[in-house]
Each structure stands twice: as C-alpha cells, then as structure tokens.
Structure 1
Amino acid sequence: MHKQHTGGGILLLSHVGFSFVEDLAEALRARGLKTFVLSSRPEPAHPGRLDDLRHLADHLTAAPEHVLTHRDVESCLAELRERGESVLACVTVWEGYRHLMAFANETLGVSDLGEKQILGLRDKLALRNRLFDAGLTRVRAAELTPASLADRQRAEGRYFVKPVSGIASYGAFPLTPRTTWVDIERITAESRDDTVYASAFGDDGLTFLVEDYLPGREFSFEVVVTDGTAHVVALHEKCEVTETAGTVLENACTSPPVGVGEAERAAGIGWVRGLLAELDLNWGCFHIEARYEDSRWDLIEVNPRVGGSLISHSTRELTGGASLLDLWIDSLLGPEGFTERLAALSYTADGATPTQNATFFRVFFAEKGRIASVRVSEELPLAPVVTHLLLKAGDTVEATAREVFLGQLLWSYPRGEAERILPELARASAHAIDIQYESQERGGPR
C-alpha cells in the first residue's frame, strides 16, 4: 500500500513531451499526489503531445525550446509556488535532465545527489579512469582522436568506442580495422540534428572515448540508495546483445539471471556497493551495467536513473507490485517504513533472490523504411503481461546511429519454472512482433 498524500505533488521533467510521463503520473495518482509536468517543446512529428500532457497533468508548463534549462526549472518552480502548489520533489528518467532534477531537489530541500556528482557520473572518460585507479575496473579509457584511433588499430587488440557523455547506446560500437575517422565525424554530425538525443551529449556536443573491450556476459544491477545504504532490487541478465557498426542493440533480458549463481551474485552486490562507496553516491536510483568474466565483475557504465525499456516494469513483476519508478519516488518522499520495505524487496548480501518471481522481456528494433504493418503474434507459449507497440503502419524509419524502438513485450512466470519456460519463450519471442515494410515483401524484427 502506498501512503496517501494530500495537497502536494511532484514535478516531472519531460523531454520533448515523453520520458515515462504516463507511468510516473500513474504512480503519483496511486499516492494521492498531484502531477506537475515541465516539458521541453515536442518534435514536429508529435504536434498533439502537449494536449495529451495537459489532460494527464494537474499543471503543465511548456518550455519554448527542445531542451530544458536551469532557467526553465527555476521559472516553473516559481510559477507553482505562486499558484499555491506544494512541490514535494522532482523526478526525471531522461538522463540528459538528471542534473536538472538534482538542481530542483536541492532547491526544494530534498535529499538527492548533487548536480556536480551527476555531471561527474556522465563523464564516462574521467569516471572510467578514476575507477581504474581505485582497482574497481580492469579497463582504462582514452579520448578518441585520429591518432588514438590509428594507435588502437595498429595494436590489433579488441577495443570499444562510445560517447564520453551518451545515452541509449548512441554511437557505441566495437572498434574494427574498417572503422575510420570519417565514420566518427558522420555520427557526430548526425547527432547535432537529433532533436531527441542532442541534449544528452553535454555542452560540447558528441565526443568519444576508446577503451579496452570487456568480454563476458552482460548484466544490469537495479539499485536504490538511501542515506548511504545500497539495495539491489533486481539483477537482469542481457540474454541477447547485438553489436552493429554504429550502436549496440540490447534485445532481451531475464531476471533473476541464469548465467550466474548465488555466489557470483553476492560478489556482484559487494562490488556494486564498493563502487557506489568509492564514488560517494549516497542517494538515488541507479542502473549499473556490468560484465562478468573469469570470476570477476567489471563496469560498463553507471546510469543515475532507472533503466530504460521495460526494466521498471520487470522489477514490478519481480517484487510483486513495486516498480523501480515506485521505489525511486518513495526514496525521495521517505514514507514511514520505506527503508524496511525496500530491504525486504531486495537481494540479500549472499545473493539470494527476494521473491519466487521471474521475468523475461524482449525489445524489438526497426529497420530503415516505411512501415506497412505491425502486429503481435498470437502463437506464443505464454501471453505477455506488458505489450508496448511504439511504431505503426505509415511511420518511416530513417537510418541512424542509435536504436529505433519498434516495440517491447514482457513475460512473468514462477522462478521455479524458468528452466522449462525460458528457452522456449526466448526462441518463440524472437518473432513475437511481425513487421512488414512497404519496400519489402516481408520484414522482420531486429
């Protein structure tokens, strides 16, 4: 049960009209809280989005540009105060605005990370080398330049390229002998015209780092930290990861993970807590991506927010009702008994799972072309508990250095039946969304 509040609300920062606003508003309604939305200007492709938000929110403030600023946040908070509204906290799932959330919460006197801490986490080059010096990663990183690109290619090792400040695997890819500086310039130029993602690359625009390639299975730790105590609420294993020339597509995840046992999970939880302590991260919600190889955990990146796609929904199924968005909101509000409830929903230090639930979800990506039709297959071994179709017939998909989401499906089942259900579900779900393109006789999800 959520504690019911009266007379107050939470400010949601929305990027171009989206950023999980519907899910957040639902969570606020369940608590008897008002929904205040500050949104940047939507893209031309969504002319009615602000009207949708007006119907959804108790109060909407629409900024004039595609990217929110400190001034927008200050003006919105002042406007709400003048209206007599009580703003209890600020939340955003858009990583490009996470520092603005910290700024708003500091203004409101809410416990959260500091704005400088957030910006420090988003500098993946400095962060990687700081953690290397602390012995928490085996990998060092360097700025990607024409010279460092040529050096790595001559060395003939395995390396990975990604933005210094990035999001959603945009421009992240393994370095190959065929990679040229022209490729880097092309992705950089493309990013400048990307209304949705340009704000996530920092004030200097898209710059890149190159680091040693991390082998092993890929996982993500979903973590909520309150007053210096870290709770691992969920641990997802990425069952399928596709690396392309311009991005990395994370196709499917399951939780609890099947590729590591309790001892390995316990080691991972200890490693996560050490990493958070080293970085002095005492508050917040984190999506920590990692790889496991040769009995050792190593970092991909630390995201100071909930995971994207269906991570929050998956956590809700795993915990029996509390999504990551729910837990993040409650960590800001601090209702009575929250710390005890959070601990009961989280992994124990020895790697034991808190419930008998398991999940599997698959994300589908679109290819370049005009879509003729999209439908969900009815021939699946288990019906999904969440179905999101994000594109429709008539939509046109352009080639880009970031993934273009087509849809996503989530399944839930008893953990004791995972050995029987998961292999068949993983196989059958690969074609769960059928997509056809006008330029193709028959298409298929990627």
Structure 2
Amino acid sequence: MSTENARGVLLLSHVGFSFMEDLAGTVTARGLKIYVLSSLPEPLHQGSRPGALADLADDVRVTAEHVLTPRNVEDYLDHLEAMGASVLCCLTVWEGYRHLMARANARLGVPDLDEKQILELRDKLTMRNRLADAGLSRGRASALTPETLAERQREGCRYFVKPVNGIASFGTFPLTPDTTWADLERITAEAHSDTVYASVFTTNPGPSDPADLGGHPHSDMAANDGANPDAGHEVDFGVKFLVEDYVPGREFSFEVIVVDHEPHVVAVHEKREVTEAAGTVLENAVVSPPTSLSQEEIAAGICWVASVLDILGLGWGCFHVEARHAPSGWDLIEVNPRVGGSLISPSVAALTGGPGLLDLWLDSLLTARQPAGFLKALKSLSFAMDGTTRSGNATFFRVFYADPGTIREVGLNDNLPLQPVVSQVLLKPGDVVESSSREVFLGQVLWRMDRADRDTALPELLPASERAIEIVYETERG
C-alpha cells in the first residue's frame, strides 16, 4: 500500500454509531480513506452495525467492550502504521471519547487540545466556579449531597441539578421542593444500566498514566481486557451530581471553530422551545440566526464566548457553547468540546450554503499545521465581531422525542407550509420506548429560508412543524 493512497482519517465510534455515516461522507468527499475504531455495539445492533461500518470504511476494528480505552486507540494506530496507512488526524463526535481523540492527535502531531484540558472541561462543577471566579458567570455550583439538597430546598431559590460529568441532557433538571435523594439514586441506577451512556458519568476514566493528567479523576471507564494499561486503577461507576444557581434567560448556542487560539463563531442558534422535564431537558425547536437578539447583543455574546474560551485555555477545536441571555447579559450553561448534536451541523451547512460544522472541524484538523488558507475561508463564513453575518440564509429545525410505549405508526407529514431540506425518522413501527431520564430521539426535521423572509415564514411554520412527524402508539394495556 502506497502512503499517498493510504492517506486517511481515524474516526472513533461509540457502540457503532456517533454520526458515522455523516463523518464518512465528509472524509470521502476529500478523497481520503476512512479508518474506524468502534467499541462493541449494543446487543440489538451487534449483528448489523459492524457490517455497516465495514461498508463505510477502508479498515474497521470493533473492540470486545462497549467503551474504548487509550490502549484500544494506541493499538489501532500501531496496526494502521504497520499496514502502511498515513493517518492525517483523528475525529470523534462522542464527547466521552474527545480525550481519546486528543491523545491520538498528539501522537500524530496534529495541533489539538490535550487530554488534561478536555477532562478538566468535562468537570462541570470546577468549570462553573472557575468562570465565576473570572467574572464570566454569575452562577456557582456545589457538589450535591443529601445535606446540600436539603439546604438548597430550604433556601427556596432557583437551582439546577446535573451530573458533574454528563452528556446530552441525561439527569439534568430544575431542583424543586419535591426532588428527593431517591430521584438521584434512580437516575444513577439508569446510568449504570445504560450501555450507551454509562461510561460518560464515571468519575475515574483511567488514562494510561494518571500522572500525565495531573491525577485528574475524570475520564471514561476502562475495558477489563487483561491488557489494559489502566489495570490496577479502580473504576468508579458512581454518578456525582452538582447543584448550581439557576441561569435565567433565553437559551442559545454558539457554534465555534478555534484555530491557534483564534475563535470563529460560525453560527448562533436560538432555542425557541425548551422543555424542562423530570430528569432531563428537551430542546424542541431551534432557529438561526436568533430572532430575539439585536446585532449588539450578538456582538456582546461573541466577545463573551471568546473570553470564556480564553480563560479556559481552549486554543484548538470545535465547540458547542450553550448559554443564556438575560437583561443582565450572557451566562454559561455548558462548554462542549465537540460539534453540537441533532441537526446543528446540517443547519450550519444550510446557513453557509456550503460546509457544515463537521466539514469545518475536519478541515481545521487537516490544515492545523498550515492554517492560513483555511482561516481565510473560515473568516468569510463566520460572524464578524460586530455581530453581523454575511449569510443571507436562515434555518429552523425541530427535534422530536418519543414517549414511553410501543410505536404503531410513524412517518413524515408532507402537508407543511415549507418543505424541509433534511428529514430523519429514527424509530419505526414496533419499537418499544422505555421510560428514561435521557431523551429518546424520534426524529428531526430542518428547514431553510431566506433570512429576509424568515419573520414572515416562522409564525406559520412554528406550529405547523409540530406535526412534521406523526406518530401513533399502541393502546396501553390495562
């Protein structure tokens, strides 16, 4: 195998998924090979997903455990090197593997965040207080214990509960007078039994050498495979929660690409509908650019995001910065060191009329050693510091979540005032949805329109979009 013909990208997949089809298309569009390292899929998908990955990729390895470890990544890179592959960079959208991606890129000589930064960033308790100390957040957080739970409830103020190391909205909810420690124990039990999500809540990921990370206690659980470099380090499957001051205001996200400590806000999404349910927060409807912010408020948000990234020392990568805006200004929800979920990347593509966020993240890695040309293109797509954007497009997307029950019928509704540019139905008749503290995605639909027409189109599209995916459940048994 010639090195030139073997130039490719290493993709890390969690249980066989993690946007693999989207990532594969992004890689092949650049004429590059696809090398996939995946953890073992869930039992339901073990018969189909490895074969599907093999159809997508030029080389695939599926491990024997449900979670990838540092040794898995090192061994697979050794294998690719032995077969003559030229791995240009590593990429994953699964936040639980973001530190493994950084580890691989360090070995490959690709500028990226380092492992320690990412693991520290995933410690939401420390990060919240660090930003508060810097004057960039008005909220503070404390470890949640039975004692602090009772104290906060006696105070009667608004607080929010979330896992210290979490992902998506699993186990996040507003604190109420009715919240009990048993509720936290129930969510912890669900996390333990959830094959997909269990590892992201652990408080001991076991890097190959804990000293390399300054003794930091947060990462993904290690596989017990007998050859694990983490052997001898106890894996803690406990879920630790924090309680933080409730951040008021309307919710937004900034989609950011950072190259050599220079951040570029490619898009700003406004969450038009957010449902705070028991055990989770559902983000239902999202529009970009925001409809409720002035140019000056967007500019202030861009400046605030740059300050947050600077204080945290985040000089490379793709970030989904979730924030709230109130009359008092901007405040943080979370900094996610990855592309946003659901239809964030296709929304960016619809806004730019070209590259989506996955494209931009991959290109930032491929050009990281000589970024001048990429930076010029990135700047032309991004918001200016004064809050303006060159894009004449606007987007709106709705995410649908399934209720517990058995699905009888599900499908897209063609009778809509504007036809979508992306439609995805993720469940099918016969699927059984269990009650859980994490969201169960049913599907998602994205629309694009001229920005000049948006304020006219949205009032009709918003209510109509609620029927974009129609679902019927089996009658509940008595």
The reply on whether 1:354 has 2:390 as its aligned counterpart is yes
> Which of 276, 283, 307 matches 1:274?
307
1:11 maps to what in 2? 10
Moved more, 202-211 or 36-45: 202-211
Aligned residue identity for 1:120: E
Aligned residue identity for 1:366: A
The reply on whether 1:391 has 2:427 as its aligned counterpart is yes
**What is the rounded CA distance, in whole Å, between the counterparts of 2:407 and 2:252 in structure 1?**
32
1:183 maps to what in 2? 183
**What is the rounded CA distance, in whole Å, between the counterparts of 2:415 and 2:90 in structure 1?**
42
1:136 maps to what in 2? 136
Aligned residue identity for 1:214: V
Aligned residue identity for 2:30: R
2:408 maps to what in 1? 372
Contact 1:6 1:32 in 2 (8 A): no
Q: Secondary structure at the match of 1:22?
A: helix
Alpha-carbon deviation of 1:45? 1.3
1:127 maps to what in 2? 127
1:283 maps to what in 2? 316
Contact 2:284 2:399 in 1 (8 A): yes
2:471 maps to what in 1? 435
**What is the rounded CA distance, in whole Å, between the counterparts of 2:9 and 2:96 in structure 1?**
19
Moved more, 58-67 or 204-213: 204-213
**What is the rounded CA distance, in whole Å, between the counterparts of 1:134 and 1:295 in structure 2?**
17
**What is the rounded CA distance, in whole Å, between the counterparts of 1:142 and 1:26 in structure 2?**
43
2:272 maps to what in 1? 239
Q: TM-score, normalised by structure 2?
A: 0.90
Where do 1:32-431 residues align within 5 Å?
Answer: 32-46=31-45, 47-202=47-202, 203=204, 204=236, 205-334=238-367, 337-431=373-467
**What is the rounded CA distance, in whole Å, between the counterparts of 1:439 and 1:34 in structure 2?**
48
**What is the rounded CA distance, in whole Å, between the counterparts of 2:6 and 2:402 in structure 1?**
44
CA deviations on 1:198-217 (whole Å, 9 max, x unpaired) are: 11113243210001111110
CA deviations on 1:301-339 (whole Å, 9 max, x unpaired) are: 000000000000000000111100000001001166100
Q: Secondary structure at the match of 2:44?
A: coil
1:25 maps to what in 2? 24
Alpha-carbon deviation of 1:7? 3.4
**What is the rounded CA distance, in whole Å, between the counterparts of 2:328 and 2:365 in structure 1?**
36
**What is the rounded CA distance, in whole Å, between the counterparts of 1:383 and 1:285 in structure 2?**
30
**What is the rounded CA distance, in whole Å, between the counterparts of 2:341 and 2:327 in structure 1?**
28
Contact 1:158 1:212 in 2 (8 A): yes
Alpha-carbon deviation of 1:294? 1.2
**What is the rounded CA distance, in whole Å, between the counterparts of 1:422 and 1:79 in structure 2?**
52
Alpha-carbon deviation of 1:440? 5.4
Contact 1:310 1:410 in 2 (8 A): yes
Alpha-carbon deviation of 1:295? 4.0
**What is the rounded CA distance, in whole Å, between the counterparts of 1:198 and 1:354 in structure 2?**
42
1:444 maps to what in 2? none
**What is the rounded CA distance, in whole Å, between the counterparts of 2:372 and 2:35 in structure 1?**
24
- Equivalent pairs, count: 437
Contact 1:374 1:393 in 2 (8 A): yes
Cα RMSD, aligned residues only: 1.1
Aligned residue identity for 1:11: L
Q: Secondary structure at the match of 1:45?
A: helix
Residue segments in structure 1 that go unaligned for 5+ positions in a row: 442-446
2:225 maps to what in 1? none
Residue segments in structure 2 that go unaligned for 5+ positions in a row: 205-235
Aligned residue identity for 1:78: D
**What is the rounded CA distance, in whole Å, between the counterparts of 1:244 and 1:439 in structure 2?**
23
Contact 2:6 2:84 in 1 (8 A): no
Aligned residue identity for 2:65: E
Alpha-carbon deviation of 1:78? 0.4
**What is the rounded CA distance, in whole Å, between the counterparts of 2:280 and 2:314 in structure 1?**
29
Aligned residue identity for 1:406: L
When residues 6 and 355 of structure 1 are mapped into structure 2, their CA distance, relative to the original with a 3 A threshold, is farther
Contact 1:264 1:295 in 2 (8 A): no
Alpha-carbon deviation of 1:354? 2.3
CA deviations on 1:101-131 (whole Å, 9 max, x unpaired) are: 0000001110000000000100000000000
**What is the rounded CA distance, in whole Å, between the counterparts of 1:178 and 1:248 in structure 2?**
17
**What is the rounded CA distance, in whole Å, between the counterparts of 1:42 and 1:7 in structure 2?**
27
Q: Secondary structure at the match of 1:373?
A: strand
**What is the rounded CA distance, in whole Å, between the counterparts of 1:255 and 1:200 in structure 2?**
29
Alpha-carbon deviation of 1:91? 0.2
CA deviations on 1:79-105 (whole Å, 9 max, x unpaired) are: 001111000000000000000000000
Aligned residue identity for 2:432: T
Q: TM-score, normalised by structure 1?
A: 0.97
